[in-house]
Structure 1
C-alpha cells in the first residue's frame, strides 16, 4: 500500500506476529511489531487519514485496527473466514473488507 510517497508492507513473521515496515523511497524502516498474531497474511489500507490494519485471527474471525495497530484490535461483527482478508479504501471515503466467509 502506498500513501504520501511511502510504501507500507504488512506481514507476519515466522512466529505469526503481525508487523509492518515502511519504505520512504530511500530506506526501509525497522519492523513495527503489533500486539497481535494472525493465522493468515494481513492487509493494509489508508483510510480517513489513518493506516488501517486487518487480519484473520486464530479464532477465524476478522480483526481490525486503525493507526496501524496502535489502536486496539476489534472484531468485525458477523465475520468469519478461513483465508486472509483484502482491504481497500475508495476515493469517496468508503472502506471495504473482503474475505472468504465460513458458515
Structure 2
C-alpha cells in the first residue's frame, strides 16, 4: 500500500483541485472540496463518515483502506465509471437529507 503521506497528497489534490475543476466542466451537483470529501468518505464507509472515523481532519485519521477506497471512488467519478450524482444522493440519504432527484 502507498505511504500515508502520498495517500493524503493524492486525496487533497483529488478533492481540492481535480474534482472541483471537473464539476465546473461537467455540471456536477456539487462543486466544493468539502462536499467531495463528504461524498467520497461517506461512500467509502457506507454511512456517515464521522460515525466511522474519529478525529479531524477525517482524511488524516481515516484508516488507509478507507482513504484508498475514497480515492478510488473519486478517480472512478473522474473517469466516468462512477456517478457523482448517485454517490451524493446516497450520502445525503445516510445523513437524513433529501438529495436532488434523479
Shorter-chain TM-score bucket reads under 0.3
Q: Which has the higher helix share?
A: 2
Q: Which has the higher strand share?
A: 1
> Could you tell me the TM-score, scaled by structure 1's length?
0.27
> Could you tell me the TM-score, scaled by structure 2's length?
0.27
